[in-house]
């Protein structure tokens, strides 16, 4: 499965600028790269260089100032909001540095959430969510609320949540940035295992050099450009 | 249950699992409920006063008063009454002479008052206004015991009996059997023609008229129509016909019909039939104006309550900004987010409106039912929620041992219920000394179901509108900014 040459996402001449009053801050200045199906890609770079911004744009959470992101050659930013949301729901999974679990919902409900948006059939959804929690080693924690889980457990719930709709790509922004070493290793092992098994593409933003050495490919972001 | 309902219902609850609803949602619901309950109760009281006055008024009042335009006397009244009685919807018509006269009682040397005189045919009048039911004493204008035993001075004659308005009699200081002198006309003195002397007529007080309608009890005297004709020297003539209808609401149509039916020559005059609505227009239009003003003010109360919902939602949106970001990353559309918060607000509005309607109607019921209500009604009304509460408390007590909280809540409700039972009784105007003003013994309550439905729809609509802005605000949060919100 590894080393696929099939392009999943094509990032074409991506620009992103922020305006602070009159001053224009150019974060991304013409980014071009491809993400292949089922590859494990790391985006590295100094902090504040625009790694997260790039990830948000690839994840359709933010819009580029110029340029496009092509999923299987389709420009997703031409979609209206509702369809873009549906696309995000089906095709993209997110894992953030902070778990971003919904505090009012149990671990199981958090995992099931993305599927619940489109599927009203709760039973099968919850069954799948349970299987995912079992996979990340938290089968006993289904009814716990995020506040009742440890940092590492929360992040594992967040990973399970990203997978519920079997997206084609999982975007992870510093997934271990907020964890101790033991939890970090557990989370990373989980990611490698997932990538090996599921054939999903993983894009991981990190400045963890050790992590960067363990991936298929590294993209380095310097001054808003890819090197 | 759709996705939006799933999320919204969770946001309505408090973080601590055991409470059904968060305190802030509860306060918003309470605000709407109080608004709706107040509107229902206040309008029920206003309607009650209006209908109370109306019923009291209509019970002893003609529905249509027929006269000539200039109030002059006319002949052939029997024929005309027959014509009126032939009209559908007319129950009875009674010949009347309406007039005014100055009076002084037996023991007084001076004119004490100018009163209205209503000359009636007691039998016909009974059918129109239920006259005799409201008289204490005699209604036999010719042969009453009081007339036989009247104390006459000099060689006076008695024209007949008079039934006086109760409070008028008290004011004049007369009792049954006393003489009341009418000043009918002024005559020239037989010797000194430049001097005028009053032509007096003597009436014996035979009864008191107690209708609790201040206008009659304070100002009217009733005499026999024959005596009135004699008194004013108008044999076989009258100036008014009182008409009773099957349905008082039809008065306007029937009044026009009467004007068309009863024929008069040009010389006699122009017929003029007035409805009870026209005659009492100032009172009833004042009541209606009051009601309109009240509805406007009360709608403002609901509007204020709806601001609660808006601010609750805005607070929730601020608190949940990060969650909104997360939900957007999971693939919720703007529409999903908007609906989540609109559902949350609408649930608050709906629960508040339902609770308010229940409370309002419960208060209406407590205030309107009379003292004869059996005590067990109270017990049922109080026992049902208490029993439910106790059951819930017991049920809750089993798994999480939080039962004491619910037992406390149950006690609290018992306390409130008992306080209500003690405090909320029909408001007695009689006890407050207000019966004379309102002409009723009890504060009347009339629930207008159409209005209750109207206020429910209005409240739901206002609450729904209040959700729009906060929900729109949530929907338009930028996902990335929302995620980074602290």
Average pLDDT value for residue range B201-218: 87
Q: Please answer whether residues A8 and A168 qualify as being in contact, where contact means their C-beta atoms are separated by less than 8 angstroms.
A: yes
CB contact under 8 A, B325 and A100: yes
CB contact under 8 A, A105 and B13: no
Give yes or no: residues B20 and B154 share one domain. Answer: no
Q: What is the pLDDT of residue B15?
A: 58
Average pLDDT value for residue range B174-186: 86
Question: Which chain A residues are Cβ-neighbours of B334 within 8 angstroms?
Answer: 81-82, 85
- CB nearest A116 (choices: B6, B478, B479): B6
B378 part of a folded domain? no
Question: Between B417 and B270, where is the model more confident?
Answer: B270
Give yes or no: residues B243 and B297 share one domain. Answer: no
Q: Which two tokens stand for residue B53?
A: 């006055």
- CB nearest B332 (choices: A104, A117, A161): A117
Tens of pLDDT, residues B328-365: 888 888 888 899 989 988 888 898 999 999 888 888 88
What is the residue whose two structure tokens read 């206002």? B462
Last residue of a domain, one of B269, B304, B330: B269
pLDDT at position B390 over 70: yes
Q: What is the ipTM of this complex?
A: 0.89
DSSP three-state, residue B101: strand
In this prediction, the residues of chain A whose per-residue pLDDT falls under 50 are 1
Q: Please answer whether residues B308 and B32 qualify as being in contact, where contact means their C-beta atoms are separated by less than 8 angstroms.
A: yes
Q: What is the pLDDT of residue B403?
A: 56
DSSP character at residue B439: S
Last residue of a domain, one of B207, B235, B269: B269
Contact residues, A window 58-117, toward B, CB-based 8 Å cutoff: 59, 61-62, 81-82, 85-90, 92, 94, 96, 100-105, 113-114, 116-117
Q: What is the pLDDT of residue B411?
A: 64
pTM: 0.71
Give yes or no: residues B141 and B112 share one domain. Answer: yes
Report the first-to-last Cα separation within chain A, whole angstroms: 26
Size of interface A-B (CB pairs under 8 A): 72
- Residue B154 CA from chain centroid, whole number: 53
B76: left (phi over 0), alpha (psi -120 to 50) or beta: left
- Closest by CA to B277, choosing from B442, B445, B50, B121, is B50
pLDDT at position B111 over 80: no
B403 part of a folded domain? no
Range of the domain at B357: 3-57+284-371+425-484
| Banded pLDDT at B220 (limits 50, 70, 90) | very high
CB contact under 8 A, B330 and A96: no
Give yes or no: residues B309 and B263 share one domain. Answer: no
Q: What is the pLDDT of residue B289?
A: 85
Give domain A39-63+81-226's CATH number out of 2.130.10.10, 3.40.50.300, 3.40.50.720, 2.60.40.10: 3.40.50.300
CB contact under 8 A, B334 and A100: no
Name, in order, each residue with C-beta under 8 angstroms of A37's C-beta and a sequence gap of 6 or more.
A4, A6, A7, A8, A168, A199, A201
B64 part of a folded domain? no
B394 part of a folded domain? no
- Domain count along chain B: 2
| Banded pLDDT at B261 (limits 50, 70, 90) | confident
Give yes or no: residues B128 and B40 share one domain. Answer: no
Task: State chain B's maximal CA–CA distance in angstroms.
Answer: 117
B399 part of a folded domain? no
Question: Which chain B residues are Cβ-neighbours of A103 within 8 angstroms?
Answer: 15, 323
pLDDT at position B155 over 60: yes
B330, B337, B340, B486: best mutation site toward chain A, by most A Cβ within 10 Å?
A: B330
Give yes or no: residues B341 and B451 share one domain. Answer: yes
Tell me if chain B has a CB within 8 Å of the CB of A120: yes
pLDDT at position B21 over 70: no
Give yes or no: residues B42 and B138 share one domain. Answer: no
Q: What is the pLDDT of residue A121?
A: 73
B278 part of a folded domain? no
| Banded pLDDT at B52 (limits 50, 70, 90) | confident
Report the first-to-last Cα separation within chain B, whole angstroms: 31
**Alpha carbon of B410: minimum distance to chain A alpha carbons (Å):** 28
Give yes or no: residues B292 and B144 share one domain. Answer: no
What is the residue whose two structure tokens read 């609906």? B339
B401 part of a folded domain? no
Tens of pLDDT, residues B428-479: 666 666 666 666 666 778 888 888 998 899 888 988 888 888 889 888 888 8
- Closest by CA to B181, choosing from B150, B209, B208, is B150
Give yes or no: residues B148 and B97 share one domain. Answer: yes
Name, in order, each residue with C-beta under 8 angstroms of A67's C-beta and a sequence gap of 6 or more.
A11, A12, A13, A14, A15, A30, A31
Sign of the four-CA dihedral A90, A93, A98, A99: positive
What is the residue whose two structure tokens read 């004491």? B404
| Banded pLDDT at B18 (limits 50, 70, 90) | very low
| Banded pLDDT at B117 (limits 50, 70, 90) | very high
Give yes or no: residues B453 and B431 share one domain. Answer: yes
Using a 10 angstrom Cβ sphere, with 0-12 exposed, 13-18 middle and 19 or more buried, the burial of residue A80 is: exposed
H-run or E-run covering B177:
none
B397 part of a folded domain? no
pLDDT at position B399 over 60: no
Give yes or no: residues B74 and B52 share one domain. Answer: no
Q: What is the pLDDT of residue A1?
A: 43
For residues B436 and B272, give the distance between their C-alpha atoms in angstroms, rounded to a whole number.
33
H-run or E-run covering B9:
helix B3-12
| Banded pLDDT at B221 (limits 50, 70, 90) | very high
Nearest CA in chain B to A60: B329
The alpha helices in chain A, defined as continuous H runs, are: 51-58, 81-91, 107-118, 122-135, 151-163, 181-198, 209-213
CB contact under 8 A, B3 and A117: yes
Give yes or no: residues B162 and B46 share one domain. Answer: no
What secondary structure does DSSP assign to A60-83, as a single string?
TSS--SEEEEEETTEEGGGS-HHH
């Amino acid at each position: 499965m590894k080393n696929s040459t099939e392009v999943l996402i094509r990032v074409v001449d991506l620009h992103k600028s922020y305006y602070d009053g009159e001053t224009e801050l150019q974060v991304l200045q013409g980014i071009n790269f491809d993400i292949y199906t089922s590859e494990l890609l790391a985006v590295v770079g100094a902090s504040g260089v625009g790694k997260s911004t790039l990830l948000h744009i690839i994840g359709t959470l933010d819009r580029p100032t110029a340029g496009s992101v092509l999923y299987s050659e389709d420009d997703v930013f031409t979609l209206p909001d509702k369809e873009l949301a549906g696309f995000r729901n089906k095709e993209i999974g997110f894992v953030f540095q902070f778990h971003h679990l919904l505090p009012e919902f149990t671990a199981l409900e958090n995992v099931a959430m993305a599927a619940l948006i489109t599927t009203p059939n709760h039973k099968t959804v919850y069954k799948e969510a349970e299987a995912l929690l079992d996979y990340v080693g938290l089968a006993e924690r289904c009814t716990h609320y995020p506040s009742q889980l440890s940092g590492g457990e929360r992040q594992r719930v967040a990973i399970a949540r990203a997978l519920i709709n079997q997206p084609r790509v999982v975007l992870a922004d510093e997934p271990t940035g907020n964890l101790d070493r033991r939890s970090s290793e557990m989370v990373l092992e989980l990611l490698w295992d997932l990538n090996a098994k599921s054939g999903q593409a993983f894009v991981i933003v990190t400045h963890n050099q050790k992590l960067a050495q363990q991936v298929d490919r590294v993209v380095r972001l310097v001054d808003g450009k890819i090197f | 249950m759709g996705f939006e309902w799933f999320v919204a219902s969770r946001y309505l609850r408090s973080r601590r699992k055991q409470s059904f609803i968060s305190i802030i949602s509860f306060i918003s619901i309470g605000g709407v409920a109080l608004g709706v309950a107040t509107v229902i109760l206040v309008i029920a009281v206003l309607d009650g006063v209006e209908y109370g006055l109306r019923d009291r008024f209509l019970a002893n009042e003609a529905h249509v008063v027929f006269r000539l335009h200039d109030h002059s006397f006319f002949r052939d009244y029997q024929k005309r009454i027959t014509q009126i009685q032939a009209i559908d919807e007319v129950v009875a018509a009674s010949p009347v002479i309406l007039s005014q006269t100055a009076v002084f009682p037996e023991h007084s040397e001076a004119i004490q008052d100018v009163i209205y005189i209503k000359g009636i045919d007691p039998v016909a009048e009974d059918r129109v206004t239920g006259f005799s039911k409201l008289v204490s004493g005699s209604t036999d204008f010719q042969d009453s015991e009081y007339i036989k035993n009247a104390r006459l001075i000099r060689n006076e004659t008695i024209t007949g009996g008079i039934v006086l308005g109760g409070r008028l009699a008290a004011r004049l200081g007369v009792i049954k059997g006393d003489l009341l002198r009418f000043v009918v006309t002024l005559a020239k003195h037989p010797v000194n023609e430049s001097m005028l002397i009053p032509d007096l007529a003597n009436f014996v007080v035979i009864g008191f008229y107690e209708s609790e309608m201040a206008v009659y009890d304070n100002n009217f005297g009733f005499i026999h129509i024959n005596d009135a004709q004699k008194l004013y020297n108008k044999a076989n003539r009258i100036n008014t016909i009182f008409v009773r209808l099957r349905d008082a609401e039809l008065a306007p149509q029937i009044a026009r019909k009467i004007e068309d039916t009863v024929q008069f020559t040009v010389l006699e005059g122009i017929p003029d039939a007035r409805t009870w609505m026209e005659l009492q227009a100032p009172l009833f239009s004042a009541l209606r104006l009051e009601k309109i003003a009240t509805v406007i003010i009360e709608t403002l109360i609901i509007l204020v309550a709806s601001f609660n919902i808006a601010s609750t939602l805005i607070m929730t949106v601020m608190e949940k900004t990060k969650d909104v970001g997360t939900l957007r990353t999971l693939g919720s559309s703007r529409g999903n987010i908007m609906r989540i918060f609109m559902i949350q607000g609408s649930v608050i509005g709906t629960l508040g409106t339902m609770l308010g309607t229940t409370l309002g109607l419960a208060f209406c019921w407590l205030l309107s039912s009379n003292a004869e209500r059996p005590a067990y009604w109270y017990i049922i009304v109080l026992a049902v929620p208490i029993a439910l509460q106790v059951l819930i408390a017991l049920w809750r007590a089993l798994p999480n041992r939080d039962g004491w909280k619910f037992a406390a809540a149950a006690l609290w409700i018992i306390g409130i219920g008992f306080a209500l039972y003690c405090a909320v009784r029909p408001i007695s105007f009689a006890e407050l000394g207000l019966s004379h003003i309102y002409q009723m013994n009890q504060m009347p309550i009339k629930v207008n179901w159409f209005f209750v439905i109207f206020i429910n729809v209005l409240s739901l609509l206002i609450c729904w509108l209040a959700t729009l802005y906060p929900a729109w605000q949530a929907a338009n949060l930028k996902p990335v900014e929302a995620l980074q919100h602290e």
